[in-house]
Amino acid sequence: MESADETLDPLTIAERWSGEGRDVAVATVVETWGSAPRPVGSHLVIDGGGNFHGSVSGGCVEGAVVSEATDIIADGKPRMLEFGVADETAWEVGLSCGGRIRVYVEKLG
């Protein structure tokens, strides 16, 4: 059975976490091409402790996004992240099926 938090929209979770005084970053899928597990507009929210909710891709891509998000929380500078088959790390991040995604990550507040 899912907990109540698992059914909430990631942006609702981001608002809650921010209201609790946590530093929060939001990652949003802004472009996909080919085989991509999540559509444009999908969100992943990350707090300063590395907790996260939602999904932008799955597998190792999300691990990379969480890692980048903690840096973005620290320096406050948004970033556009790209993952895809043209990238030598495509196999490492789980996009070996020919997909490409762009994910915009920014700190809230």
DSSP helix/strand/coil, 24: strand
Considering only residues 97 and 82, tell me which one the structure prediction assigns the higher pLDDT.
Answer: 82
What value, to the nearest 5°, has the Cα angle with vertex 93 and ends 22 and 107?
25
- What is the structure's pLDDT at 1? 37
Instruction: Note the pTM of the prediction, 2 decimals.
Output: 0.84
CB of 56 closer than 8 Å to CB of 62: yes
Pick the closest to residue 43 from 59, 60, 62 (CA basis). Answer: 62
Distance of CA 51 to CAs 4, 23, 65, 104, Å? Answer: 16, 11, 12, 18
| Res 7 pLDDT > 80 | no
Torsion 92-47-40-75 (CA) sign: negative
Per-residue pLDDT reduced to its tens digit, 33-87: 877 888 999 999 999 999 999 999 877 789 999 999 999 999 999 999 998 765 4
- What is the structure's pLDDT at 8? 87
- What is the structure's pLDDT at 4? 55
